Chain A
Amino acid sequence: MRAGRAASRARSATACLVALGVAAVLLAPPALAASAEREPSIGPGLEWVAHRDNPFRQGDDADFINSDLAFTGDYLVQGNYAGFSIWDIADPAAPELVSAVSCPGGQGDISTVGDLVLISIDETMSDDSCEAARVPETTENWEGLRVFDISDPRAPRYAAAVRTRCGGHTHTVVPDPASADRVFVYMNAYSRGASLNCTGRNPLQIMEVPLAAPEDAAIVGELDLFDDETAFGPEDRVPGGAETRSTTGCHDITAYPAKGLAVAACRGDGLLLSIADPLAPVVLQRVRDPAVTFWHSGIFDNDATRIVFQDELGDGFINTCSPAFGADRGADAVWLIQPDGLVKAGTYKLPRAQSDLEKCVAHSGGLVPVPGRFIIAQAWLEGGVSVVDLTDPAAPVELTWFDRPDYGYSMDYTAGIWSVYHYDGYLYASDMYEGLEVLRLTDPVFADAARYDDTGLNPQTQPAYSWVWRAAPVVPTAAAERAPLETLSVEPAAIEPTDAAEVTVSLPPGSLTPGETADVWWMPTQAVLATAAAGADGSLAATTVALPGPLEPGRYDIVVRGDASAPRIALASVVVASSSPQHAPDAAETRATGGSAWWLLVLLPFGVALAYHAAIAWRRRRRVAR
């Protein structure tokens, strides 16, 4: 995905600086003063790669703010309270707006599955169309999940609308372990009281979306995640009908399908679920924590041994990142998944105090896939982006940040960065009003994270990251097993014993996953000789590598392994032989040049010794003569 991307970046950056300078000089006093003052503070090892304005923005109108992000191939889909945007991020430094789909309804939580975009609405709309208006929830209304087909990303097609009981504040895509033809979607929402459709406890509604026939999407299951059956008696609501209980539904669920687990953040409760059967989730544990006000979301570490929960204290309308709130209120909480249940192990709060003109609270983020570490990138609204290492939950370390100052005034409602996720080597941040920010982590600790080739990501459906390139390939010894793997061309395949040699390897089209990163391994020392990108046709272009010497006679394996096509390997052998008839002329030539020096080395001491003895004999004869 990233071959040849950044070629002209440095050149255009220079041009940009010049042009920006000109523009800044001309514009600075009247128009750009505010935005120039809003230059972000950027932490160490973080590069601000690109910015794109929110195409929907209407000044400070809160009905046009961006929300969450999802990724499919080279496309980034950005939810908005007024619809969604599709960005082409093939070059992360230059995102291109492919289309902006106008289809109002908050909060526009978004996912992608193949060519489908799913967007959930939990504002009560007049109907399910893209021309609907917002209506009070006590009147006839629609809310639920919209499904768009973006196989033509310039002209998305509205494929289906499925009404749910309380809409979908967020939703979570869960693959069907038995079939790649459909996915399940958990609709996460909670009731809001005196509503026409959405009162009392809102069960987890599970939807099925057939990928080839999205118009058949439908609710296929419904589940109560709470065991407090006694709740929601008459005393648990105010006269108008609004509930006074916490357990009315969930705010967000993060699934980790490879581990059969999910973590549900349900307002006043945190839940660990087994989703081994996605249609029948089982609550493994339910926890409450007096230090947590609003369980907003959770992120697993890659081993699924730890979870970090976000606490959206104040729902994004206030600044909780201030000395008044301190380090404990509104903090992320890290919990360990132990055999006997969840155990709280530490907290993390944004260390940079924000102005009270800003809205700041823990919001959405995701794992940065660094092997052996628990590093997340997380949004804190106007507190910006914080990249934090939670490997030792008792002593979290903020690694870097991106943080704009306040607007010079307080936004009426929520504002700032909604979410930030690591995708294919970059961080993408969705800013509600400002738009899209692309950032890059430059510290070498992120090299493996940057190398990980994502092909798509719904951040609330966590992938199991594997860094296959970090371990040497295993080559079979049995000839019958080796034969089908010997697809690698190597030139020359036979060489003479030498201190160093070069060979050229290549693979025909169709051998590798197009565009994937591949290593050339020298098996005798288990060393990577070269790293290259596969061609768009799955070939490996001729790649010359230096073989580490000395090369004694023998047969040695060279392996090419792609990150995506692993564990499959392509194999070839290099034969080092002391003499080979077919290469006689070359060998003779080598001996003629290299050989003379060798003889010199032998002859020189011999000559010196001869001269020495001759000199002694001569002196002896002279002495005798005297």
Chain B
Amino acid sequence: MTPTIRAAAVRAFGIAVATLMAVGASGCTGPAPDPSGTDFVTPAPPDGAESDDSARPDADGTTTGDGETTSADVAFIATMVEHHEQAVELAELAPGRVADPELADLAGLIAVTQAAEAESMRGWLERRRSADDAAAGHEHAESMAGEISRSTIDRAAELEGGAFDRLFVSAMIPHHRGALLMSEARLAESGDPAVARWARAIATSQALEIDRLLEIEARLPAG
């Protein structure tokens, strides 16, 4: 692009932006944005506030609070992808093998939900790795609690009926407890608050599933 053309393009862009701003200011119906320069208000704390400066950004911009993505974030997500994949692999064995109808339903839910979450987390990792090649999460790989071993998967593939159900529950409950452990380990560290929220969400959903697995386990016929 020659400098002249580029200058013309920049000018055209400027006109377009100015036009859009005028449209926004005139209270346009439809999709025009309102570009008013926002003045943010930061109210002073109420009387008797529990102020604590220690975690606020210091003059040099450093902070002890949460902020950017940390290696703890990357390690948590990377490990959780693998952890989810194990649950999906076991849950996908359920059709044709599982006996308890509610467990069949729950296995289907675990398979589809954790596969979608793992896909989301893989995308998250890829975006960070392409943005920063140095962010190799495996350097900080965490121990994976509640791992479903290869031999457990192989054994499940050989079972059906009540025996499959019992193996499924006895493997999935510790697996989900492991996810809780991993989540709370992340929550005890600093990092991107959005990853903390994700860790909470994972802990929540897996705790709810543990609750249901325990209910099912309590009524499964003994082998």
- A-side residues, CB < 8 A to B, are 9, 12-13, 15-16, 19-20, 22-23, 26-27, 30-31, 39, 48-53, 55, 62-63, 83, 91, 93-97, 99-103, 106, 123, 126-138, 140, 142, 147-148, 154-161, 163, 190, 192-195, 215, 238-248, 267-268, 290-291, 293-294, 313-320, 324-325, 329, 356, 410, 412-413, 435
Structural contact, B46 and A215, CB atoms closer than 8 A: yes
Structural contact, A329 and B28, CB atoms closer than 8 A: no
Structural contact, B197 and A106, CB atoms closer than 8 A: yes
Q: B180 at interface (Cβ–Cβ under 8 A)?
A: yes
Structural contact, B31 and A48, CB atoms closer than 8 A: yes
Structural contact, B32 and A314, CB atoms closer than 8 A: no
List the 9 closest A-B pairs by CB distance, nearest first.
A133-B65, A94-B27, A126-B55, A26-B16, A315-B201, A62-B194, A158-B43, A16-B28, A318-B116
Given A30-B9, A50-B30, A317-B201, 9 more contacts at CB 8 Å?
A: A30-B13, A31-B16, A55-B40, A94-B27, A95-B34, A130-B44, A133-B55, A314-B117, A356-B116
Identify which of A15, A94, A136 contacts B189 (C-beta below 8 A): A136
**What residues of B have a CB within 8 angstroms of the CB of A103 in the complex?**
42-43
**What residues of A have a CB within 8 angstroms of the CB of B163 in the complex?**
none
A-B contact pairs, 5 of them (CB 8 A): A16-B28, A102-B41, A130-B45, A158-B45, A193-B203
Identify which of B41, B52, B66, B106 contacts A136 (C-beta below 8 A): B66
How would residues 45 to 64 of chain B score, 1 for a CB under 8 Å from any chain A CB and 0 otherwise?
11101111011110000011
**What residues of B have a CB within 8 angstroms of the CB of A26 in the complex?**
12-13, 15-16, 19
Structural contact, A101 and B43, CB atoms closer than 8 A: yes
Structural contact, B120 and A410, CB atoms closer than 8 A: yes
**What residues of B have a CB within 8 angstroms of the CB of A294 in the complex?**
204-205, 208
- Tell me the complex Cα distance, A129–B54, Å: 12
- Tell me the complex Cα distance, A247–B210, Å: 12
Structural contact, B210 and A244, CB atoms closer than 8 A: yes
Report the minimal beta-carbon distance from A195 to chain B, rounded to whole angstroms: 8
Structural contact, A135 and B30, CB atoms closer than 8 A: no
- Tell me the complex Cα distance, A93–B28, Å: 7
Report the minimal beta-carbon distance from A194 to chain B, rounded to whole angstroms: 4
Identify which of A30, A156, A215 contacts B41 (C-beta below 8 A): A156
Q: B79 at interface (Cβ–Cβ under 8 A)?
A: no
Structural contact, B46 and A158, CB atoms closer than 8 A: yes
Closest to B209 in A: A293
**What residues of B have a CB within 8 angstroms of the CB of A242 in the complex?**
180-181, 183-184, 203, 207
- Tell me the complex Cα distance, A358–B207, Å: 25
Structural contact, B211 and A63, CB atoms closer than 8 A: no
Closest to A246 in B: B211
- B-side residues, CB < 8 A to A, are 9, 12-13, 15-17, 19-20, 22-23, 26-36, 38-47, 49-52, 54-57, 63-67, 102, 105-106, 109, 112-113, 115-117, 119-120, 123-124, 127, 176-177, 180-181, 183-185, 187-190, 192-194, 196-198, 200-201, 203-205, 207-208, 210-212, 214
- Tell me the complex Cα distance, A277–B207, Å: 33
Report the minimal beta-carbon distance from A54 to chain B, rounded to whole angstroms: 10
**What residues of A have a CB within 8 angstroms of the CB of B185 in the complex?**
240
**What residues of A have a CB within 8 angstroms of the CB of B211 in the complex?**
244-247, 268
Structural contact, B27 and A93, CB atoms closer than 8 A: yes
Structural contact, B203 and A319, CB atoms closer than 8 A: no
- Tell me the complex Cα distance, A94–B34, Å: 9
Structural contact, A127 and B42, CB atoms closer than 8 A: no
Structural contact, A319 and B56, CB atoms closer than 8 A: no
Structural contact, A136 and B26, CB atoms closer than 8 A: no
Identify which of B16, B26, B35, B46 contacts A16 (C-beta below 8 A): B26
Identify which of B19, B180, B212 contacts A22 (C-beta below 8 A): B19
**What residues of A have a CB within 8 angstroms of the CB of B29 in the complex?**
9, 12-13, 16, 48-50, 93
Structural contact, A267 and B184, CB atoms closer than 8 A: no
Structural contact, A128 and B45, CB atoms closer than 8 A: yes
Closest to B19 in A: A23
- Tell me the complex Cα distance, A135–B123, Å: 26
| Given A126-B56, A314-B116, A315-B204: A413 and B194 interface contact (C-beta under 8 Å) | yes
- Tell me the complex Cα distance, A130–B50, Å: 11
Structural contact, A129 and B51, CB atoms closer than 8 A: yes
Structural contact, B180 and A193, CB atoms closer than 8 A: yes
Closest to A158 in B: B43
- Tell me the complex Cα distance, A94–B27, Å: 5
Structural contact, B44 and A158, CB atoms closer than 8 A: yes
Closest to A131 in B: B56
- Tell me the complex Cα distance, A240–B12, Å: 59
Identify which of B28, B113, B124 contacts A313 (C-beta below 8 A): B113
Structural contact, A136 and B19, CB atoms closer than 8 A: no
Structural contact, A53 and B27, CB atoms closer than 8 A: no
